[in-house]
Amino acid sequence: MNTESELAGKVAIVTGGSRGIGLGISRELAVAGARVAVVAMNAERTGAAAAGLHGEGHAAYSCDVSDGAACRETVASVVEAQGPVSILVNNAGIARDGLLLRMSGDDWSRVIETNLRGAFNMIQAVARGMIRKRSGSIVNVSSVVGLMGNAGQANYAASKAGLHGLTKSVAKELARRKVRCNAVAPGYIETDMTAGLDESAVGKLSARIPAGRLGKPSDVAGLVRFLAGSGASYITGQIIAVDGGMAM
Ligand code: NAP
Each residue's pLDDT tens digit, 2-23: 567 999 999 999 999 999 999 9
pLDDT tops 60 at residue 1: no
Distance 160 CA to ligand 1 centre (A): 13
pLDDT of residue 95 exceeding 80 = yes
Question: Which tens digits make up the pLDDT trace of 115-163?
Answer: 999 999 999 999 999 999 999 999 999 999 999 999 999 999 999 999 9
Look at residues 153, 126, 225 and name the one whose alpha carbon lies nearest to residue 184.
225
* CB burial readout 111-143, b (16+ within 10 A) else e: bbbbbbbbbbbbbebbbebbbeeebbbbbbbbb
pLDDT of amino acid 4: 73
| 116, containing H or E segment | none
**Measuring from atom 10 of ligand 1, which residue has the nearest CA?**
16
Q: Which residue has the higher pLDDT, 218 or 1?
A: 218
Contacts of 49 (CB under 8 A, 6+ apart): 17, 18, 19, 23, 26, 38, 40, 60
Mean pLDDT of 213-220: 97
Query: Rounded CA gap, 104 and 81, in Å?
Result: 41
Residue 236: CB atoms within 10 Å: 21
Q: Which helix (H) or strand (E) holds 40?
A: strand 35-40
Count Cα atoms within 13 angstroms, Cβ side, for 178: 11
Residue 238 is predicted with a pLDDT of 98
pLDDT classification of 189: cutoffs 50, 70, 90: very high
User: What pLDDT, on a 0 to 100 scale, did the predictor assign at position 2?
Assistant: 59
Q: What pLDDT, on a 0 to 100 scale, did the predictor assign at position 242?
A: 98
pLDDT over 90, % of the chain: 94
Ligand 1 binding residues, C-beta < 6 A: 15-16, 18-22, 40-42, 45, 63-66, 91-94, 114, 118, 141, 143, 186, 188-189, 191-194
Question: Best mutation site among 14, 19, 67, 114 for ligand 1, i.e. most ligand atoms within 8 A of its Cβ?
Answer: 19
Q: Is 220 exposed, middle or buried (0-12, 13-18, 19+ CB in 10 A)?
A: buried
Mean pLDDT across the stretch 26-44? 98
| 8 A C-beta contact, residue 118 and residue 156 | no
